[in-house]
Structure 1
Amino acid sequence: MNRGLKKLALLVCAFLLAVIVGCQSVGGLNMNDMLLKQLDVTHQEQSQLLEVELDFNEALLEAEDQELTKLVQMFQKVSLKIDHAKTDELGNAWAHGTFSFAKGDIPFTVHTDAKAIRIDIDGAKRPLVLDLKEFTGEFGLRLNLDNQQAFTQTVRDLLKSVAPYFVKGLPNPPVITVNRVNESVHGVATGLNKVHAELNGEQLGKLIPIYLDNLIADKEGLKAMLGSFLEWFEGLPAEVKQLIGLEELGDSDMLLGEISDMLHNTLVDARKELADAQKEPEWKQIFDAGIAVKVDLYVDDVLDVRKYALEANIAPSVFAEEDSPIRSIKVRVSGESWNVNGAVEVPAVKVPVNALGADDLDEMEGYQFVRLFEEDSVIYQLLKNDLQIDDQEFFISNQSWSGNFYLDNGGVQYVPLRATLRDFGIKLNVPEAPGEIRFYDRATEQQIVLRAGSDRATVNGKEIKLSQPLERSYGHTYMAADDLFKLLGAEYKVTVLFDDWKHMTVTRDL
């Protein structure tokens, strides 16, 4: 992810945070300045913890499939702990953490620079490395590192100029206090301003229309914000404008007036729709006191957020309805930051020769992906035994133009060989003799050779006899289903849909 996108994500987070803490000055601390100050943070070190706990509707769970219930309960309480993360001023990032759930812990490391993202997962035999050129496309290819840094700086300047319009109109929550405290940040006692705020769903429902009213009332602020955006766009290099498909905007003054009026009218319409929504019974069901949020922010004297803790209990009355699958959601988030805009170094990503790429994963069958992990690892047990992603299942129709299965006069089921092997993820090899069909099944580690019109086959060099010879019909080679699926360790079942329309369900438990 480039730094411009990171800053956009940061603005979204700051906006959500602003909903909780508001932006009016409290206890001498200017909330607006504090929120906008976070846009100046370009590099730092951090630790973070996210915990999510779900309380399910047990009555509904009991009516569900037992395997599904087991899977849901496995993820009833999860956590993501980042022990140490750091970002340097070039946008390179590194983080080590652990994902935890009922089955155990899965440690991981993520490392990214301007060229690649490397992901190392505990138990994985090979790291995953994603080439960022594949994701940034032409835009990424045309911007070298120096231009990316310059562009990122312009994005940061834009956000700082447009963000005040969106945050300054936010009203403060009913409960908000600021106190001077002494807290430990990364083991160092630090004097901080503690901002404590509380908000419930009913109060949030009342603040939303107030916020829209404030945005509508500040028509000059809206116009100034749009003016800042247009000025920023005009200053972009010509090649960047071309890449995003807007080379020239025309008369900027006229455009500013038109867009400003259009957005203002959109806000007015949204306010009217909101007023109508507030009259509906669903509004009170969603925005009620069952949603409760508490947050503590620890802000230093230069307005950097150095520590935070948020706790949310989401249990609106709509969750209490009989058909609601969830009764409540509890979320806890905490973290701390140090070395803010200090000397942070993140080395370039190292790409080992055995690294997996996006193309490698795209071509893999489920069982191949599972085998990338050590059998005694938590993630292997999760993928194989719980999620069962290595198992295969597909359907064959008896009415398919690409090769259907059929029942011969002797009661033998035949399936189209090439199409069926393709569904297993098996590719045919180049034949070494006329009429020969040769393939390797990675799942069972078998080299198999068949021959058209023959009831003989070779499996890993050993000749075996089939119950039926291979048949040729309507341009396709067919093989008895019992023979093929016995070789591959699969099972099948034929189901009549209607009239003469049938389908065959093929499964293979690996």
Structure 2
Amino acid sequence: MRKIKARTKWFVPFIAILLILAGCQSVGGLDVNKVLLGDLDVKSSESSMTLSLNAVPAAGISAEDKEIVDLINSFSLDVSNMKLQDNGNISAKGTVGYKQLKLPFTFFMDKEAIVFTVEGAKQPFYYPIQNAEDMVGIEGLDPAKTEVFSKQLTQFVVKNLLNPSVINVSSVNEAVYGQSMNLTKLHTEVTGDELPALLKGFLKSISTDSEGFTQLISGLYDYLYPVIQAEDVDLGELLGLGAGQIPLEDKEAVVTVLHDAAKLAIDTVLLVYDKQLDNLYESTPELKTVLSKDTKLQVDVFVDSGLHVRKQNIDLLVALPASEDLPLQSISFKAESQIWNIGGPVTADVISTEGALDVSALQLTPGETLRNFEAGSDVHRLMKEDFGMTKKSIGIAPDDDYYYPLVEGNTTYVPLRYLAEDLDATVEWDAVNHAINVTEDVYGDKLVFKIGSSVVTINGATVKLDQPVFVDEYGDAYVPLRLLAEALHATVEKDADGWIYIERD
């Protein structure tokens, strides 16, 4: 089985953006198609990138919602150096901004694993990369063909998309990694109210581009043939034409049938496009705000004489309808990137997996997660205090059919294991001493309950119980709810209806 190839163009989202905007192969003498396809051919490079968000609150926003908006606006990502090696290895280093903090991180990916670190971690973390079949659950998938089909898809989409109202090319001088360069700047803008017409124009163009559509489906056939063959799919039955009507091996017949079916579907959509769009606006009036002139995407792409992208700036602003659930006027996304050393000698910075934590094989509790970070580190504090990683809320009804609480006198008893494990504690049976050992998840407190004993040990100290620990007819050991919960750093409250609420910060 092949391993997944680590090379991937994830350093900037520029391909998807350009496919939305650049609707012809040449704009002002710049061959957009060659730019896109040339970028897919880049085997090695270095780059940097910054990302940020900006949410604009609606008028009269509450203090609580304003706090959430401030948190959104504090987020940023700064990748100071990303390296793409010609063997497909990728490394990156940078910082994640949150509130007033800057959290440094490093990242490395090869064909075997993804490895990353963050300041304050006691060791690196890694996630093994399985073969493609295991990861996506599709037998016969060949990742080597992905790049070929990506080029075909890119070429087809760029050929058939229409230009937005604003698209132009100019010559500029820009600094890339400290070096002044003469570049070609492609500037594009598209507003939300243009998108429906652009999509309709794209569908019309596809419908009439029989040759291009056929070539695309032919490429898709080559890409997916091993998958369909491995899955033993009957295309005739799948398309409703009858079992055995389309031999999988007959490429020409398969491509023809798929082309005709896809074209019929597109033509059907075009017949009802305007009516369905009106119905959508009527049923979802909020969409008129999102798809209005106030929503705007602006992209500046800077290309060198070799048709390589060297810089790009993306600014997306989305207008939002007034809503109590989302008290925002708009939210915007900005990304800036630059790339250098294209095709040059680049060596990704390896992060060793020795002593690293395999996060794919673990289901970590909050305490186990926190213990992987230094107690005084910013990440540890953020996870515990800001993100509330250790918070727990449990509600128990008087007739709860999970906990089956038993009340004797003023004491409520519950199955020890159920409540302890729901509070992330570890529960172990000590057969020699006929005892149940409980280890609290976050702070590591030790509790020992002995069956038939009215004494419990908590961190070495003995506590007297009103009655001995007992076992019900189903084999569940019952202990006082309040004592167990509070020993596991939770609070207990009971309302007038007999409901019990357990909270842990």
Q: TM-score, normalised by structure 1?
A: 0.85
Q: Which residue in the other structure is 1:220 paired with?
A: 211
Deviation (angstroms), 1:465: 2.1
* 2:290 is the alignment partner of 1:295: no
Alignment of 1:80-119 (within 5 A): 80-119=77-116
Deviation track 1:362-393 (CA, whole Å, cap 9, x = no partner) reads: 1x221332332233333222211122111233
Deviation (angstroms), 1:309: 1.0
Write 1 or 2 for the structure with the bigger share of helix: 1
* 2:20 is the alignment partner of 1:16: no
Shift of the 3–285 alpha-carbon distance from structure 1 to 2, 3 Å rule, reads same
Shift of the 196–428 alpha-carbon distance from structure 1 to 2, 3 Å rule, reads closer
Shift of the 271–77 alpha-carbon distance from structure 1 to 2, 3 Å rule, reads farther
Q: Which residue in the other structure is 1:386 paired with?
A: 386
State how far apart, in whole Å, the 2-side matches of 1:414 and 1:35 are: 67
Deviation track 1:37-86 (CA, whole Å, cap 9, x = no partner) reads: 22212321100111111113353545xxx4x7534532234211110001
Deviation (angstroms), 1:232: 4.7
* 2:343 is the alignment partner of 1:341: yes
Shift of the 124–134 alpha-carbon distance from structure 1 to 2, 3 Å rule, reads farther
Q: Which residue in the other structure is 1:47 paired with?
A: 48
Deviation (angstroms), 1:334: 0.8
2:424 touches 2:441 (CA, 8 Å); kept in 1?
A: no
Shift of the 24–403 alpha-carbon distance from structure 1 to 2, 3 Å rule, reads closer
2:126 touches 2:358 (CA, 8 Å); kept in 1?
A: yes
* 2:152 is the alignment partner of 1:161: yes
Alignment of 1:405-484 (within 5 A): 405-408=405-408, 410-431=409-430, 433=432, 435-475=434-474, 476-484=476-484
1:54 touches 1:77 (CA, 8 Å); kept in 2?
A: no
Deviation (angstroms), 1:35: 2.0
3-state SS, counterpart of residue 319 of structure 1: coil
3-state SS, counterpart of residue 453 of structure 1: coil
Deviation track 1:474-502 (CA, whole Å, cap 9, x = no partner) reads: 332211223223333322234577xxxx6
State how far apart, in whole Å, the 1-side matches of 2:354 and 2:405 are: 46
State how far apart, in whole Å, the 1-side matches of 2:271 and 2:369 are: 52
Deviation (angstroms), 1:263: 0.9
Q: Which amino acid aligns with 2:273?
A: L
Alignment of 1:168-317 (within 5 A): 168-233=159-224, 249-279=248-278, 280-281=281-282, 282=285, 284-315=288-319
Structure 1: segments with no counterpart, 5+ residues: none
1:45 touches 1:339 (CA, 8 Å); kept in 2?
A: yes
3-state SS, counterpart of residue 429 of structure 1: strand
Shift of the 341–496 alpha-carbon distance from structure 1 to 2, 3 Å rule, reads farther
Q: Which amino acid aligns with 2:492?
A: Y
Deviation (angstroms), 1:455: 1.6
Alpha-carbon RMSD across the aligned residues, in angstroms, is 3.1
Deviation track 1:157-198 (CA, whole Å, cap 9, x = no partner) reads: 222233322210111222222122222111122221111222
Q: Which residue in the other structure is 1:492 paired with?
A: 492
State how far apart, in whole Å, the 2-side matches of 1:231 and 1:432 are: 62
**After the TM superposition, which of the residue ranges 323-332 and 432-441 deviates more from structure 2?**
432-441
Q: Which amino acid aligns with 2:485?
A: F
State how far apart, in whole Å, the 1-side matches of 2:127 and 2:48 are: 24
* Identity percentage of aligned residues: 25
State how far apart, in whole Å, the 2-side matches of 1:327 and 1:106 are: 29
Q: Which amino acid aligns with 1:297?
A: V
1:15 touches 1:167 (CA, 8 Å); kept in 2?
A: no
State how far apart, in whole Å, the 2-side matches of 1:142 and 1:505 are: 49
State how far apart, in whole Å, the 2-side matches of 1:369 and 1:70 are: 27
State how far apart, in whole Å, the 1-side matches of 2:430 and 2:404 are: 24
State how far apart, in whole Å, the 2-side matches of 1:40 and 1:266 are: 33
Shift of the 98–58 alpha-carbon distance from structure 1 to 2, 3 Å rule, reads farther
State how far apart, in whole Å, the 1-side matches of 2:459 and 2:402 are: 30
State how far apart, in whole Å, the 2-side matches of 1:33 and 1:212 are: 23
Shift of the 462–345 alpha-carbon distance from structure 1 to 2, 3 Å rule, reads same
Deviation track 1:288-333 (CA, whole Å, cap 9, x = no partner) reads: 1101222211111121111111222222xx5246765221112211
1:468 touches 1:483 (CA, 8 Å); kept in 2?
A: no
* 2:71 is the alignment partner of 1:74: yes
State how far apart, in whole Å, the 2-side matches of 1:10 and 1:254 are: 40
State how far apart, in whole Å, the 1-side matches of 2:356 and 2:323 are: 52
3-state SS, counterpart of residue 361 of structure 2: helix
Deviation (angstroms), 1:5: 8.3
Q: Which amino acid aligns with 1:407?
A: V
2:367 touches 2:390 (CA, 8 Å); kept in 1?
A: yes
Deviation (angstroms), 1:427: 2.8
Q: TM-score, normalised by structure 2?
A: 0.86
Shift of the 486–308 alpha-carbon distance from structure 1 to 2, 3 Å rule, reads closer
Deviation (angstroms), 1:253: 1.7
Structure 2: segments with no counterpart, 5+ residues: 235-246
1:368 touches 1:390 (CA, 8 Å); kept in 2?
A: no
Q: Which residue in the other structure is 1:505 paired with?
A: 501
State how far apart, in whole Å, the 2-side matches of 1:140 and 1:265 are: 31
State how far apart, in whole Å, the 2-side matches of 1:480 and 1:376 are: 35
Deviation (angstroms), 1:442: 3.9
Shift of the 226–385 alpha-carbon distance from structure 1 to 2, 3 Å rule, reads same
**After the TM superposition, which of the residue ranges 124-133 and 392-401 deviates more from structure 2?**
392-401
1:105 touches 1:378 (CA, 8 Å); kept in 2?
A: no
State how far apart, in whole Å, the 1-side matches of 2:458 and 2:266 are: 70
Q: Which amino acid aligns with 1:287?
A: L
Alignment of 1:117-136 (within 5 A): 117-133=114-130
Deviation track 1:72-127 (CA, whole Å, cap 9, x = no partner) reads: 53223421111000111221110011111223111111111111111101111222
2:365 touches 2:441 (CA, 8 Å); kept in 1?
A: no
2:6 touches 2:89 (CA, 8 Å); kept in 1?
A: no
State how far apart, in whole Å, the 2-side matches of 1:211 and 1:250 are: 32
1:370 touches 1:390 (CA, 8 Å); kept in 2?
A: no
State how far apart, in whole Å, the 2-side matches of 1:176 and 1:6 are: 28
State how far apart, in whole Å, the 2-side matches of 1:233 and 1:487 are: 57
